[in-house]
Amino acid sequence: MKRENRILDCHIHYSLPVKPQELFDIMEYTKTDIANLVIVPDEHRISSVPDALMVKYLNPTKIYVFGSLDVSQYFMHNKSVGKHFVKYVKRMLHCGCDGIKMVEGKPDVRRMVPIPDFDLPAWEPFWNYAEEIGLPILWHVNDPEEFWDKSKIPSWAKSQGWYYGEETINNEVQYTQVFTVLKRHPNLKIIFAHFFFMSAQLERLSKILDEFRNVYIDLTPGIEMYINLSKNKEKAVQFFEKYQSRILYGTDIGARCVIANESEINRKESLNRSDIVRTFLTKEGQFTIKADGNFLIGTEDFQLDALNLRPEITQKIFYENFISIAGEKPKEVNPKMVIKECKKIKKMIRIMTMIKRIEVANYSYADQVIDFFKQK
């Protein structure tokens, strides 16, 4: 594909055992200039933020890191998580993180982890702090609405355990919580992942973006987003033109590795993800999406009608909008602080093992990062 834009992917997943060079190779393979590594919490190893900071240290001008929150706090200090998250985020910023990734709004995460409702007092210190310092937050809230409908959910999604019945928080209930937070804290700087799962509700999403001027959305697939936008192409083009400064390019490259603890990023899937998003934005006319048999596309071919956006719009989406949120340059990594954080992670793994939240303690990843920075 012809290069017409600088490419900054705001939504790439990373954790060990994937080697740093593996990630750099994927970036080159997909013609990605800069990556924002988004880290999700791990109930068993607590945090892989140090893994990503190790990668950033090796390539400091081309890697941003949005660290996860500390999942252990939901079990240990459930009614006061916000106070503890403020302390934790300060440590992450001192380590060299550029923002925070929250996957706490994904419904199956809320099934597994006792996350307080976002509009409860437990969260208030965190929202206050994030608003005060302009902390960039990339937040996954909900999933496609058909995941709550047994007759509509795709088989690949059901196989991942993403069917949500009455025992799982309802998507509209969760939206209501989020809107309450935004009204209380209108200066929060939020990027809602996956188009906020409102690709079939452009008028509603438009009202949200009009009301909350510091809210952004990213284009990371769910493929249903592109199907919905393709079906409604004229309104989709108008939406992208109006909100061209509020939309960010992302792919979810590496997500499979994090879910399955794989050691290699799937090259074919990575290229497929980047090509789908870029082609949809920049080309004209219909193009065919070939089935891949996994949770990106599924088992049937289909066609999309590309938006053919103007280059000045796509340059904002591919690069400029993220820079305006997170800064022109990534923050510098502090090796001593990262080592200290790895030691805290090891201590927390011991505690979580003692209270039976973790069956077998595994310190190998934290030790690997400690050894790396000690050698530097």
Q: Tell me if residue 10 falls in helix, strand or coil.
A: strand
14: nearest Cα among 1, 24, 3:
24
Residue 210 lies in a domain: yes
Give tens-digit pLDDT for 350-370: 988 888 778 888 899 999 999
β-strand partners of 307: 284
Residue 170 lies in a domain: yes
Give tens-digit pLDDT for 264-286: 898 988 999 999 999 999 999 99
Which residues contact residue 309 at a Cβ distance below 8 angstroms, ignoring those fewer than 6 apart? Answer: 237, 240, 241, 281, 282, 317
Cα gap 2→112, rounded to integer Å: 43
Residue 149 lies in a domain: yes
Domain residues for 193?
8-265+310-375
Contact in structure between 7 and 281 (CB atoms under 8 Å): no
pLDDT score for 132 = 98
Cα gap 222→141, rounded to integer Å: 13
Residue 287 lies in a domain: no
Whether residue 58 is predicted with pLDDT greater than 50 in this model: the reply is yes
Give tens-digit pLDDT for 118-158: 999 999 999 999 999 999 999 999 988 888 888 888 777 78
**CATH code, domain carrying 358:** 3.20.20.140
88: nearest Cα among 30, 44, 47, 149:
47
Residue 238 lies in a domain: yes
Residue range 102-126: mean pLDDT, rounded: 95
Whether residue 3 is predicted with pLDDT greater than 60 in this model: the reply is no
Whether residue 300 is predicted with pLDDT greater than 80 in this model: the reply is no
Residue 304 lies in a domain: no
**H-assigned helices in the chain:** 20-29, 49-58, 73-76, 81-95, 107-112, 124-133, 155-159, 171-184, 202-211, 223-231, 233-242, 255-260, 267-282, 311-315, 321-326, 335-354, 364-375
DSSP letter at 255? H
pLDDT score for 294 = 61
Residue 278 lies in a domain: no
CA atoms within 13 A on the CB side of 287: 15
Residue 163 lies in a domain: yes
Count structural domains, the chain: 1
Give the global pTM: 0.94
With residue 193 as reference, give the H or E element that holds it. Answer: none
